[in-house]
Chains A and B, each alone.
Chain A
Amino acid sequence: MSREPVTLTIDGREITVPAGTLVIRAAERLGIEIPRFCDHPFLAPAGACRQCYVEIEGQAKLVTSCTTRVAPDMAVRTQVTSELVRRAQAANLEFLLLNHPLDCPVCDRGGECPLQDQALAFGPGESRYIEPKRTYRKPIPLSPLVNLDRERCVLCARCTRFCDEISGDRFIELYDRGAGERVSIAAGEDFRSPFSGNTIQICPVGALTATPYRFVARPFDLSSTDSTCAHCAAGCAIRVDVRRGKVVRVLARDDVEVNDAWICDKGRFAFAAPDRPERVTTPLVRARGLEPASFQEVLGEIAARCRGGRVGILVGGRLADEDAYALSKLARTVLGTNDLDHRRAFHGGRAELLAAARPMSVTYRDVEEAAAILVVGLDAEQELPILHLRIRKAARRGARVFVLHARRTRLHDLGEHLLVRPGHEAFALERIREALAAGGDGPEARIAAALAEAGERAVVLAGPRLAEHPLAADVALGLAERVGARFALCARRAGDRGALRAGVHPTLLPGGRRVTDDVERGQVEAVWGPIPAEPGRDAMGILRAAAGRELDVLYLVGVDPLRDLPDPALARRALANAGYTVIQGLELGELEPYADAFLPAAAAAERDGRVTTWEGRPRPLRAARAPLGLSRPDWEIFVGLAEALGADLGLGSLEAIRAEAEPLLAPREVPVRSSAWGAAGPPQWIEERVLFTYPLLVDEGRLLEGATELKAALEEEPFAEIHREDAEALGVADGGWVRVRTSAGDAVVRARVGETVAPGAVFVPFNQPGLPVAELLAGRFTVGVHLEPAAEPAAEEVA
């Protein structure tokens, strides 16, 4: 389709737009608002509601402006200048309202409903219809999150088009025709879609409503703040609605550079955690028990322990960029240690160095416009849902999508999967690299050919699974460089990329500067002052040091090592043997018996700051309400701790932090290392059966606490996904029970048998209710496993 400019007139005003533009969009550019219901800028035109009639000179009948594209010298007349159009629009509104129940007072959409607004602006005001209206049973729960009220539906098909075109999860469909046409749960389809909330937001009437927001508030009750979702590194633009100091709703905002107009259901519905009674909002210090104290007292106490002592710092994935920078500086310049880490898995290769040094190597737009996409070690739907939608969008625009993963992902309908055992990704990538030269006709050769053909328009997205295996990410990077593709190592949690960039890392300083390199360290020292030159310990190393009584202070910032790290036994020993344990976060949870001091942090919705997306793009966080109690943003606590130690970080405000960090975080070149395997040599080929695990979108994570309906809709019972071949060899039936034994422990879970996982691999989701998989792990998220059929466990054994 040519993109030549086309000139036309609308209501006598001339405008020039690219060819192919819809008349309704051209009118918007002139500020002329044509009423509409089914039209949505991110969905394909449907012409379903007939509300957007306009008159075009030379055409006998009125046309729908949302399906008509501009043509040269077209003369369009809208309701502004045409009485005929005005009457047609009013008649259509009267028609749409024939069977409408007019129950606005009980409808959640009341007060912000396009049907209300447009009926008022363009409608006839009175109806001539006096017969009884069509009625349906209502509301019909489509899922624990979404309710359908068929009486209110105007059959615009926005919801069903979203499912068809955007998420691909066809959980609702339109059935029948005429007066009996209605929205229904799609026959035989699973309506577990992690994007279902978007249909609620785009429904132009109150036909789809959200259970958690049911009857909770009216628009005029709400104070709204534009912010960014901090549940994952996708960085979606959101609006946070607060009623009387409580977050009651989260909506997606439009941002074509990031999330288009969509967010996932986790971002939309998981907002209750900071309001739970378990939240601790006062500093605590251990005297006879944990007792409330002032910030000053607690920080003074901690400072006394840190002075001259050996400190190790573990960090979770929820720190804002400014927090991470302040902590990185605090650790190096005041606490005198490089023992800090935010990672859950460790590769330390060149790919990581690049991610720290160079943001925006791949953007959402690059993904959307790519010709070939290779996704490695990433379950995008579960880990970066909005990136998943972009990959789908790219596939619909013609990109070839390949997924190299141990498990089938939700891209299976659009892309080709190559299931490889966890730990073998690097070998598969090597085979693709070889196929670049050698050719062939296996899947590797297909991927190689597609990548080579796409060249610059190829994108390689490496996920957290690659971090697990030495240098696998570097092999992916090497492959990308070889074909000239764009490459990104995708962070999963909202704080991950920012923490990496800021140097919350045992061997990297801000901007990916290596602690061990005198020149690079010197660049940071020029700003910060002296920094210890020995590399620090990584997260497991810090735990081992604490367990071996080598640490005087163990400082845990937004992390629960019992739950988040793959060796709870070690974590328990570390907590028991650490000289002094400081917890900073929203709540204490199971860490309570170990805590010597607690510092209450503000939640993401209670503070300003920035988070960095997986691309490396900074996104603004804005406080939707004040922090509860005495809690405060993490960076303020770090600055306070430095003060208690008699040091001045010089980071008195967010602006000061950004000003100091900016030059250090400017994109830099990083040294090239040539050999694919690096000094460590090729990874080991593991023969035994392995269990691997990663968190699904909705799990038992702390930020999901309190999101009851979301969990009811999406959280799954623990299961073990086993390949059919393995299951047959072991005599395990689909849906039967299987005992999973590793060197760390064993558990009995339900088996899911199929071809959705690589042979020889067993997938168990991380942190599912009733099964803390961490207890089965021995330091890594992949572990050798022994399987055997088991009897159904008694109730307490499952729990």
Chain B
Amino acid sequence: MSERRPRVDLSSAVGAVASGMATILKQVFRRDVTEPYPHVIVPPPPRSHIGRHRLNRHENGLEKCIGCELCAFACPADAIWVEGAENDPEHPVSPGERYAKDYQINYLRCIMCGLCVEACPTRALTLTSYYELSFTSREEAIWTKEQLLEPPPPLGTDPVDREG
């Protein structure tokens, strides 16, 4: 069978090229959508929970976390390690009988799903908007209780990020 070649309509071809070029030209003069991170750091929307966790304290300084392990149970990625212990009534770490002797989150595992936050009965655990998590070793990716109790620093101030 002989193939029928389509007829080329020169004028419509030129028109198509022109409209394509026009689209490009229009984009050239439009404002950028891409954020030039890390040169410019755009603050995330308020109340966004896209970054690492924080362990909160009560106003009197006691830790809200009671070491109950519910967050660890809820975590689908098995990223959380909690070890409970008994509070010394003279020097309690948290209100009540129990506190977290050890608390770790492994950020090589965490998928930022927030299920742990939902499971926490004391609102001790929340997600922050601090997303600048980069590590140079596996150990560094495991955050300890002391680190998690710290409020996150302003974005763009992580020493590792600045070096990179």
Contact = CB atoms under 8 A, between A and B. Distances in A.
Interface in A195-220: 214-216, 218, 220
Nearest to B122: A105
Nearest to A149: B97
A221 interface: yes
A793 interface: no
B116 to A, nearest CB: 13
Contacts of B98: 106, 215
Contacts of B86: 214-215
A214 B73 CA distance: 18
Contact of A215 (B70, B72, B85): B85
Nearest to B119: A105
B84 A110 contact: no
B82 to A, nearest CB: 8
B63 interface: no
A139 interface: yes
A422 B141 CA distance: 67
A111 B73 contact: yes
A393 B66 CA distance: 43
A241 B122 CA distance: 28
Nearest to A138: B97
A215 B67 contact: yes
A330 B26 CA distance: 92
Interface in B48-74: 66-70, 72-73
Interface residues on B, range: 10 to 19
B96 interface: yes
Contacts of A106: 66, 68, 96-98
A110 B84 CA distance: 13
A220 B119 CA distance: 15
Given A106-B96, A106-B98, A139-B97, A218 B66 contact: no
A105 B97 contact: no
Interface string A79-110: 00000000000000000000000010110001
Contact of A216 (B68, B72, B73, B84): B84
Interface string B74-104: 0000000001111000000000111000000
A220 B66 contact: no
Contact of B68 (A110, A139, A221): A110
Contact of B84 (A103, A138, A215): A215
B73 A105 contact: no
Contacts of A103: 96
Contacts of A139: 97
Contact of A105 (B83, B85, B121): B121
Given A105-B121, A105-B122, A218 B69 contact: yes
B90 to A, nearest CB: 17
A105 B96 CA distance: 11
A130 to B, nearest CB: 20
Nearest to B98: A106
Contacts of A216: 83-84
Of the candidates B68, B72, B96, the one having the most CB atoms from chain A within 10 angstroms of its own CB is B68
Contacts of A110: 68
A323 to B, nearest CB: 35
With a 10 A CB-CB cut-off, give which of B83, B86, B97 has the most chain A CB atoms.
B97
Contacts of B69: 218, 221
Interface in B114-152: 121-122
Contacts of B84: 215-216
Contacts of A111: 73
B117 to A, nearest CB: 15
B62 to A, nearest CB: 14
A138 B96 CA distance: 10
Nearest to B120: A105
B73 A220 contact: yes
A110 B73 CA distance: 12
Nearest to B100: A215
Given A106-B66, A139-B97, A218 B73 contact: yes
Contact of B70 (A105, A214, A221): A105
A214 B87 CA distance: 11
Interface string A215-244: 110101100000000000000000000000
A424 to B, nearest CB: 51
A220 B69 CA distance: 10
Nearest to B99: A215
A543 to B, nearest CB: 47
A185 B76 CA distance: 44
A211 to B, nearest CB: 9
Contacts of A220: 72-73
Nearest to A139: B97
Contacts of B83: 216
Interface string A104-132: 01100011000000000000000000000
A179 B122 CA distance: 29
Contacts of B85: 215
A214 B85 CA distance: 7
A317 B150 CA distance: 54
Interface string A554-566: 0000000000000
B75 to A, nearest CB: 11
Contacts of B121: 105
Contacts of B73: 111, 218, 220
Interface string A579-609: 0000000000000000000000000000000
A91 B145 CA distance: 43
Nearest to A103: B96
A516 to B, nearest CB: 59
Interface in A125-163: 138-139
A781 B97 CA distance: 48
Interface of A: 103, 105-106, 110-111, 138-139, 214-216, 218, 220-221
28 contacts: A103-B96, A105-B66, A105-B68, A105-B70, A105-B121, A105-B122, A106-B66, A106-B68, A106-B96, A106-B97, A106-B98, A110-B68, A138-B97, A139-B97, A214-B86, A215-B67, A215-B85, A215-B97, A215-B98, A216-B83, A216-B84, A218-B69, A218-B72, A218-B73, A220-B72, A220-B73, A221-B69, A221-B72
Interface of B: 66-70, 72-73, 83-86, 96-98, 121-122
Given A105-B68, A106-B96, A110-B68, 6 more contacts: A106-B97, A106-B98, A138-B97, A215-B97, A221-B69, A221-B72
Closest 8 CB pairs of A and B: A215-B84, A105-B68, A106-B98, A218-B69, A105-B121, A215-B98, A106-B97, A220-B73
